[in-house]
Structure 1
């Protein structure tokens, strides 16, 4: 498989909401050609291709991976299938961009990394937040001392996507608010504060093992901390902030896709009455910066992107594993009192 000149022929595996957003933003991405889409329902694949300008529709993953016109695939399927499809795609000679979480465990992440190394192809988790210009400015400002020494992070992603007993969430699909929503607050904490020394987590977990709501505290040796929350059944204000010795920065909802943030620094009187706004224009649905960077990396025959390496993804998965372990401990789940 080779890339086609300066263009990369993209395929999308899956036809859900994320796939629709990705397809629309591929249209705005220089060097990206919308080549193929696949769904288990051939009629749905054909309708998706017609609506969003893809050249070919396939009725199975196997058929798509056998398509020699496809250079790279975006994998937007249930969490539990990400690793297996990514490895199969790499072995079929396709570059891969994998909807977050890249895998359901750090070990699965390492398996993908080994497959990418063996094939010499590009592989990355689609952590699009890290390519968001406003987010990049926020992290750079925090690291450069814009608010002094950063002492804490607060971030939440809680939205009621369905009832607690929804049948579309299953353990077999690895449905999980920690993996789906919680990965964003965790990534912010890691980017600003680094890896924690202790993790404490509580939450609401169904009898079948699907976590619905998670509250985690990351603790650091020098008394820094992060307070993180995620839910797929209730609202938890989806904003974020980083606080330091000289002030704080606040990101509006939804923080993982925000195009701006505000900074307040100085004396108490000044910090409470003055703010500096940093703003960037949004491109498409927000995925364009990531898709542009990945398309260029593939065209240049690179196997990773420095903004979000496979090692970064595996490190995040290791922390998510630790949160899950804390959540599953006997003392983690609150007991009802009467």
Structure 2
């Protein structure tokens, strides 16, 4: 029997706590240490995993011989530094997004991953059953040639009146929520954009948060990217912290139908002339008939920890696609508004959708 992966959790805030709760249900992982500079956070973490050893600083956690892998859940500006330090200490690492807050940091992370014989799992993950289901639908030709893509993740904003809105966060949705919307679009198409245009704006200056706190916001609250592919298709990717109603979806519009993936609810809607081969039910989309497909759901932290265990077992890095996504976002963030120089393609990515139109009449 293989020994469980011994995990050290660096950062015990909301996300770190979510991992601690889910780790009990993940085969092949055991939390052996937690780390936070705040005593109250350490106490809360130990209530979720009482057998873990508590550390008050990062060095002690990295030196802990009972830790095989580090889960980086610190504030955004520390993610890259913490991940590189974990690699230098001989630990595997799972990095929450954003995996870097500057192009210089991203270069440093990729060099460290190449230099050390340890596994890096960088979020967001793109190998998800929901995207595979959409790819299968596109491959079946049910909506004809895919012509246009839209990927959006809009929320009112983080509910807590804390560092997320300060300069310490470096950026707002550009680094926090846009990576999800962009990474799944790039994974689905499997294609590198030939051109990209970014728009970064701030619509809210003084904000009241859901915890009742008020603050003066120091980061942008809206970023969008318009992507164009060599084959002529276009994609819009957007994330906003301004809208009252959260929405998280991916839409593919084709020559003879449309597909909509509700990413939070793991539901697919298909408008097409013929029903999908997958098990489905009757539904409506924008007051028009559609076919509905309900997919199994899973807790996101459970999925991430399972991916880490599998990656360490097979000694497989999950970095290239996330690094490409972040490089594109960081380039757009630096540009602020205007044309973006598209970075080199992520190595080893296999297209899920063939975007070639071919010679048929459309």
TM-score range, shorter chain: 0.7 to 0.9
- The structure 1 residue matched to 2:88, chosen from 83, 87, 91, is 91
1:204 aligns with 2:188: no
Using the alignment, how far apart are the partners of 1:291 and 1:167 within structure 2? 26
Match of 2:257 in 1: 247
Structure 1 residues 167 and 289, CA gap change in structure 2 (3 angstroms): closer
Match of 1:311 in 2: 320
Please identify which structure carries the higher helix content: 1
Secondary structure of the residue aligned to 2:171 is: coil
Match of 1:191 in 2: 187
Secondary structure of the residue aligned to 1:12 is: strand
The TM-score with structure 1 as length reference comes to 0.82
- The structure 2 residue matched to 1:122, chosen from 119, 123, 126, is 119
8 Å contact kept, 2:284–2:291: no
8 Å contact kept, 1:134–1:278: no
Match of 2:359 in 1: none
Deviations 1:290-318 (A, max 9, x none): 32132132134x041xxxx3221221122
- The structure 2 residue matched to 1:20, chosen from 17, 21, 24, is 17
Using the alignment, how far apart are the partners of 2:77 and 2:139 within structure 1? 35
The TM-score with structure 2 as length reference comes to 0.77
Report how many aligned residue pairs link the two structures.
Answer: 315
Match of 1:334 in 2: none
Note the 1:112-261 alignment, pairs <5 A.
112-128=109-125, 130-142=126-138, 145-161=141-157, 168-193=164-189, 194-205=191-202, 210-235=219-244, 237-252=247-262, 255=263, 257-261=264-268
Structure 1 residues 212 and 22, CA gap change in structure 2 (3 angstroms): same
8 Å contact kept, 1:202–1:327: yes
Deviates more, 1:142-151 or 1:109-118: 142-151
8 Å contact kept, 1:134–1:279: no
Using the alignment, how far apart are the partners of 1:151 and 1:89 within structure 2? 43
Structure 1 residues 291 and 163, CA gap change in structure 2 (3 angstroms): closer
Deviation at 1:110, TM superposition (A): 3.1
Deviation at 1:16, TM superposition (A): 1.6
Secondary structure of the residue aligned to 2:248 is: coil
1:41 aligns with 2:55: no
Using the alignment, how far apart are the partners of 2:139 and 2:323 within structure 1? 22
8 Å contact kept, 2:163–2:169: no
1:61 aligns with 2:58: yes
Using the alignment, how far apart are the partners of 1:70 and 1:174 within structure 2? 30
Structure 1 residues 109 and 208, CA gap change in structure 2 (3 angstroms): same
Using the alignment, how far apart are the partners of 2:304 and 2:160 within structure 1? 33
Deviations 1:165-187 (A, max 9, x none): 97642223323211111112211
Match of 1:336 in 2: none
Query: Unaligned regions of 5+ residues in structure 2, if any?
Result: 206-215, 275-282, 340-362
Secondary structure of the residue aligned to 1:282 is: coil
Using the alignment, how far apart are the partners of 2:39 and 2:160 within structure 1? 31
8 Å contact kept, 1:38–1:58: yes
1:323 aligns with 2:332: yes
Match of 2:277 in 1: none
Using the alignment, how far apart are the partners of 1:319 and 1:45 within structure 2? 36
8 Å contact kept, 1:200–1:326: no
1:278 aligns with 2:297: no
Structure 1 residues 196 and 296, CA gap change in structure 2 (3 angstroms): closer
Query: Unaligned regions of 5+ residues in structure 1, if any?
Result: 331-338
Deviation at 1:214, TM superposition (A): 1.6
